[in-house]
Structure 1
Amino acid sequence: MNRRGFLSIAGALVTGPIPFASAHASVRTDGAIKTLILVDFTGGNDGLNTVVPIADERYRALRPTLHIPRDQALNIDERTGLHPSLRPLMPAWQAGEWAIVQGVGYAQPSRSHYRSQQIWNTASDADDYRRDGWLARSIASRTHTFGTAEAGPFPAGDIVTQLSSPFDLRSFAASCKAAARVIAANRKQAGVTVIRLALNGFDTHELQAARHASLLAQFADGIASLRQALIASGDWRRTLVTTRSEFGRSARENDARGTDHGAAAPHFVLGGAVRGGLFGEAPALDRLDADGGVPASVDFRRLCATVLDACWNVASAPVIGRAFEPLPFVRA
C-alpha cells in the first residue's frame, strides 16, 4: 500500500466533558494486523510505579512513601514487577501476548503536555514543529479526512462524526466495549481499523498512589475484557493494542506525595500476534536527566515504525522522515 492509501470515516473523537475519548478510521493495507488500538494515558503516566524496578534500592530511596513494595508487585522476573492493579492482564502475560517496552521517549524531552503530545502525534524531533499526524501521513487521502481540534496522530480535516447511541462512553470499560463492537462491525470490510481511546487523569502531582492505582485498574479491567471478547470473536490474533503517554514522571516523589513531569516511561503492546516479554533497558536511576527524569533508551518512533513496517507492510521511513528499526515484538 502506498502512503496515500484509502481512508474512510467510521467514527469520531469525542471531545468535551466526557473523560474517555474514542475515535476510529479505516485504511486499506496488506499487513497481518487488521485493528490498531491506541490507548492514551493522558497527563503523563508514572512508569516507575507501573513497571516497577523491584530490585533497585535507588527506587525505594527516591520514593519513600510512593514505592510499590516488592511483596505487592506482580513479579515478572527477579528484577521487575508490575503494579498490582494490572493483575487482570496477567493472563495475557502468561500467554506471551504482552510486550513491555521500557525506556520509551525521545531526545531533548519537553515537559509541556501540549508540546510533548504534539511530538508524539507527529512522530517528529523535539525541535521540529509539524502539524500533520504520523497516521495522517501514512493513510490520509485527499477526499476523506478525520479530525477535530485534538486529532492526535489522525489526519486533520473537517469531517467529524460524533459517536452517539448505542455507544456509552462514560467509562473506559464502556469505551472498550464500544471498540469491540466497532471491530465486529468492520470485520468483513477490507482494510485496517484504527481506534484511539483516552484514559485521562495521569498528571499525578499530588496524592498519587490511590489515583494511579485506580487508573491502572480501569485500564487493566477494560483491556482484559476487550481481549476476552476479541478472543471469542476470533479477532484478537489480528489486533494490536499499544499505549501512549506524553511523558513519564519524575523519579523522585515530591513533597505532595506525587510526582512531577518526567521523561521516558515503559509502554505496553498487547495482541494475539505479539511476542511477549520485556524489551528495552531497565530504568537507569543512577543516570537521571538534569530535571530528574528517566532517560530514553528506545525512541518512541520505533513503535510507529513497527506498526507501519511489521504490521501493515507500509514503508515507515518516508512517513516518519528517516529510518527507525522496528521492535521485534510482532510474530512473523
Structure 2
Amino acid sequence: MSVTRRDFLAAGLVSAASGVIVPPILAKGVFAAGIDGIHNNRVLVVLQLAGGNDGLNTVVPYADPAYVTARPTVGVKPDSVLHLDSNVGLNPALKGLKSLYDGGQVAIVQGVGYDKPTYSHFENLYVWEYADPARAQTDGWLGKLLGAQLDSQGHPLAGCALGEVSTPPELRASKAAVSVIQSAQSYTVRGGAARAALAPTLYRNTPGIYGALFDQALSTAESGMKTLASGAATYKPAAQYVAQGATPAANSLGSALQLTAQMIVTEPSVKICHVVISGFDTHQDEAARQTALLAEVDTAVSAFMQDLGAHGQADRVVLMTWSEFGRRVSENGSRGTDHGAAAPLFIVGKPVKGGLYGEQPSLTSTIDGGNLKFTVDFRSVYQTLIRDWLQGDPTAVLGASYPELPLINTA
C-alpha cells in the first residue's frame, strides 16, 4: 500500500501508540550542533502533583491543636510525623525527602498561593501554568522563558515533557520548541519502520516554502530520535526507581523521572523537563490515597537525585514541585478534603539552600469559609528560580517583579 504526504500530515510526523510529539512544523528550523544557543548548562525539572495535593497532610502542622480538631480521621497522627522543627513535620511516607532535607538539599516553601484564589481545577491550573491570576496570558511561563531566553536555536530536546502525551500548557509558547516523550522506545516516526524509510522522500519532495518547513521539521525529528536512541543505549540508571527487581510501569512517575535522568545525563541541550503524577484530588479516602501517591513521589524523587549524583550531574539540576491548589482545613464527610487554597511546595537539589521558607498559614484565621491564606506568592518562587537558578530575566516572563527567596546557593 502506497503512503502519501497527505497520509503523513493526517497522522502526524512522529508518534506511537504511547504518545510522542516533536516541535511544531513552524519551529525555528534545524538546530545547531551540541549546545550552541543554550543559555547555560543548568536544568530545571518541574514535577506537577495534579489534582490539588493536600499540603496540610504533606507538611504537617502537628503541634497545632486546630489541626487535630479539624481532621479527626484523615489527619496524620502527630507521633508518626517526620519532624522538621517543633511545629511542622513531613508525612511519614516522605522518608527519602526527609533524608535529603537533613542533608540540606530540600527547601520547603510554606503557604504558597496568591490573592483572591479560585477553587476550580481548570481556572487554577491556568493561573499556575501561565503565571497569571487574571488568566489572560496565552504563553505558558516556562515556554516563554525557554523560547525567548534559554534556547535561541530551537533545540528539539531543550524543553521536554517526559512520560506525557501532550505539551503541558506551561511549556506552550510561540517561540518554544518542545518534545513530548512518553518513552525512549516510542519516540519514532508514526507508523513504524516503513513510514520512517519513506518520510525523507515524501517530506523533502514538497516544493516551495512548505517543503522547506517540512524539511526542517523532519531534520529536527530525526536528530531528536537519534539523540534519544543513543542516550538509551549508553545510559544505565544508578538508582532503583521502583522496588528491587521490578520494572517501572510505562505511566509511573518513576519511569518518567528515570527517562528525565537519562535525558539530562546524555543530552547537553536539555534545559527544562516536565513530569506529572495525577490523582491528588482526594475528596474521598484521602489517608490511603494520598499516602500511596506521596510514597511514589518520595521513591521516584529520591532515586532521581541519587541517579544524578552517581552520574556527576547533581550540581546542574533543581527540581520544583507544584499543585494547582491545596485543600480545605477541615475534612469532609467522605474521609477526604475539598478544594482549598495555599499549600507548600518543594525545591530539591544539590544547588538548593535547604530549610523552611515562608510562614505556615493559620488554621483558624482563614478565608472563604475555611481555606488557608497564602503567605508567599507563587510568582516569588518562579522569579527566584528564573533569576537565581536559570539566570534569566524574570520580569520579561512574569510581567512584574516579586520578592525573592534565598532558595539557591549562589556561592
The TM-score, its normalising length taken from structure 2, stands at 0.70
Paired position in structure 1 for 2:137:
130
3-state secondary structure, aligned to 1:85:
coil
Paired position in structure 1 for 2:94:
86
Paired position in structure 1 for 2:76:
68
Q: Name the one with the larger helix percent.
A: 2
| Change in 2 beyond 3 A, CA 1:160/1:138 | closer
Paired position in structure 2 for 1:216:
294
Is 2:341 the partner of 1:266?
no
CA distance in 2, matches of 1:112, 1:89: 29
Is 2:168 the partner of 1:164?
no
Paired position in structure 2 for 1:115:
123
Alignment match of 2:265 (pick from 173, 177, 184):
184
| Change in 2 beyond 3 A, CA 1:315/1:219 | same
Is 2:304 the partner of 1:226?
yes
CA distance in 2, matches of 1:273, 1:196: 19
| Shift, 1:175, TM fit | 1.1
Is 2:386 the partner of 1:308?
yes
Alignment match of 1:246 (pick from 324, 327, 345):
324
Paired position in structure 2 for 1:202:
280
Is 2:106 the partner of 1:98?
yes
| Change in 2 beyond 3 A, CA 1:123/1:159 | closer
CA distance in 1, matches of 2:278, 2:17: 12
3-state secondary structure, aligned to 2:99:
helix
| Shift, 1:76, TM fit | 1.1
Letter aligned with residue 182 of structure 2: L
Q: Which structure 1 residue ranges, 5 or more long, are not aligned?
A: 1-13
Paired position in structure 2 for 1:256:
334
Paired position in structure 2 for 1:10:
none
| Change in 2 beyond 3 A, CA 1:175/1:200 | same
CA distance in 2, matches of 1:165, 1:330: 32
3-state secondary structure, aligned to 1:132:
coil
3-state secondary structure, aligned to 2:306:
helix
3-state secondary structure, aligned to 2:49:
strand
Paired position in structure 1 for 2:169:
152
Q: Which structure 2 residue ranges, 5 or more long, are not aligned?
A: 1-14, 24-34, 187-248
Structure 1 segment 316-331 matched on structure 2, within 5 A? 316-331=394-409
Structure 1 segments (4+ residues) deviating >6 Å = 14-18, 21-24, 145-149
| Change in 2 beyond 3 A, CA 1:23/1:328 | farther
Alignment match of 2:38 (pick from 16, 22, 28):
28
The TM-score, its normalising length taken from structure 1, stands at 0.86
Letter aligned with residue 316 of structure 1: P
Question: Which range moves more in the overlay, 36-45 or 229-238?
Answer: 229-238
3-state secondary structure, aligned to 1:326:
coil
| Change in 2 beyond 3 A, CA 1:291/1:127 | farther
Please tell me whether the aligned partners of residues 43 and 390 of structure 2 are also in contact (alpha carbons under 8 angstroms): no
Letter aligned with residue 253 of structure 1: E
Is 2:60 the partner of 1:52?
yes
Letter aligned with residue 259 of structure 2: A
Structure 1 segment 260-299 matched on structure 2, within 5 A? 260-299=338-377
| Shift, 1:326, TM fit | 1.9
| Change in 2 beyond 3 A, CA 1:185/1:270 | same
Please tell me whether the aligned partners of residues 22 and 195 of structure 1 are also in contact (alpha carbons under 8 angstroms): no
| Shift, 1:87, TM fit | 0.7
| Shift, 1:193, TM fit | 2.0
CA distance in 2, matches of 1:220, 1:23: 30
Give the fraction of aligned pairs with identical amino acids, expressed as a percent: 34
Please list the CA deviations of residues 279-315 of structure 1 after superposition, one character each: whole Å capped at 9, or x if unmatched: 0001211211114211111000011101111012212
| Change in 2 beyond 3 A, CA 1:67/1:181 | same
* Matched residues, number: 310
Please list the CA deviations of residues 139-159 of structure 1 after superposition, one character each: whole Å capped at 9, or x if unmatched: 215984879865321134697
3-state secondary structure, aligned to 1:71:
helix
Please tell me whether the aligned partners of residues 44 and 390 of structure 2 are also in contact (alpha carbons under 8 angstroms): no
3-state secondary structure, aligned to 2:104:
coil
CA distance in 1, matches of 2:366, 2:309: 41
Provide the alpha-carbon RMSD of the alignment.
2.7
CA distance in 1, matches of 2:116, 2:284: 26
CA distance in 1, matches of 2:147, 2:16: 22
| Change in 2 beyond 3 A, CA 1:210/1:232 | same
| Change in 2 beyond 3 A, CA 1:149/1:95 | closer
Bigger-Rg structure (1/2)? 2
